[in-house]
Structure 1
Amino acid sequence: MSLKVSAPAKLNLFLHIVGRTPNGYHALQSIFQLLDFNDELEFTELTNTKIEFTCSDAALESEDNLVIKAAKSLQRATNTRKGARIHLTKLLPMGGGIGGGSSDAATTLLALNQLWQCNLSLAELADIGLTLGADIPVFVRGRSAWAEGIGEKLTPLQLPEQWFVVIHPNIHISTAQLFAHPELTRDTPTSTIRPALAVSGHNDFEPLVRKLHPDIETIFQTCQNIGKAKLTGTGSCLFISTDSKTAAENVKILLHKSNPTLTAYIARGVNVSTAHEQLQLAT
């Protein structure tokens, strides 16, 4: 038996650092917006316990890949004697703060839970995902959401449909370096759940990223007369929100006129993950 399932990207519509958790991690508040912009994975059940992994980008075929880690974590959690052949078609830009690797891992947990008939709940799968990365639970839960804690405390939100232009600067940013940087703002006041922060909120990483990475600052300047650009996550991707696909296409055209070397994608914001819809997990 085989399954083909998408792994959607996300945006942080805002990202506030509001302090520290008791175990020393940074405490965040954010809104996760899921997109209809996806990696694609294919899963084939094996009768042995092997996890065979291939990828359209051979450089990602490593035991460190979160897809392999997720599959093996599910095996351990359920004591299943089944395995899988997994192929990842990588379409999302890497290292951009849009959650590609985390989403791939979440889709692996969701798909193999179904393929192997493990019957774990979404909460149980999210707990497994959290051991691998803080962004994985939102993709397991499969809803655009208000996030707190380190990003794992999620409240589903019904966000208005928007279209986004996602700009990838082809720059790698060290998340660990940003979290450790002495100039990072860590005391933004906490908020109650307010969807309006999707518009009025800010990203506490943005000033630091713009200071440390002149090429990204240049892109912000390019966007200045085109639309309000924001950083997603710790970057390096930026996004501009619009009210329609046509408006997004116009923004993309203007961006390319201003800077023909920019890589930009158009994506629709969704409230339910494409993976959930394909696996018929949506309610």
Structure 2
Amino acid sequence: MHEVAHKWFGNLVTMEWWTHLWLKEGFATWVSYMATDNLFPEWKVEVIHARAVLEIFDAISHENGSAVIQMLQSYLGDAIFQKPLSSYMKRYAWKNAKTEDLWSVLTEESSVEVTNLMDTWTKQKGYPLLSVNLNGHILKFEQSQFVLSGLAGEGLWIVPITLCLGSYERQKKFLLKARCAEIDMSDLFNSSSNSLGLSEENDLEKFKEHFWIKINIYQSGFYWVKYDDKLAAQLIKAIESNYLSATDNFGGRILPSLM
């Protein structure tokens, strides 16, 4: 399936030079997983998730490129991602293209500054580690670079964040553009209380039973998350109660995030 995908990514649209190799290999890998999953859902093939390749993010290759593409697709949404991708294929059919050409088309048609966002993922090594803690209804994020040596670096990414509170129906997404940021979660807390018929003040214990925050929904983001002790404990309870999806529930993918 990977080689068939090269009819479009590599043949129909060819990379301008070897420095853009990931354009054809990353997309071919991504398409091969997507197509196989759609044609043979009973095989339960997963598009390669970010955590599966975090340890080899020293260069953009087949799996790395696929994971970065999936992260962008997940953040933008299928419809918003696929239309510009189709436009890109038509615009550069039987021509040479470079990475910036793809980002330019996505930026034009998605209303998201994709070029600036993705440059931080394709032009530097390593990946971000997000430290997260909750103070009241304010969720605080701090990103740092984590590389294979285990030493902290100075890298800075624009990180597409997806998260949910107590249910996959209550989601929020945003771009973490700075080293530190704070997000007001009041709307999700209120929504959670109303849907459960609970008051955080009057039914605190019952509220806590249903309260958990999962960051990086379906493990689609190319980053690790370090939760504070309280958030980690609540997330472990959610795992034990089978509230999370199979992908998020799989210990090898989420427990390292709890660190």
Structure with more relative contact order (C-alpha pairs < 8 Å, separation 6 or more): 1
Work out whether the TM-score is over 0.5.
no
Give the TM-score, by structure 1 length.
0.32
Higher strand fraction: Structure 1 or Structure 2? 1
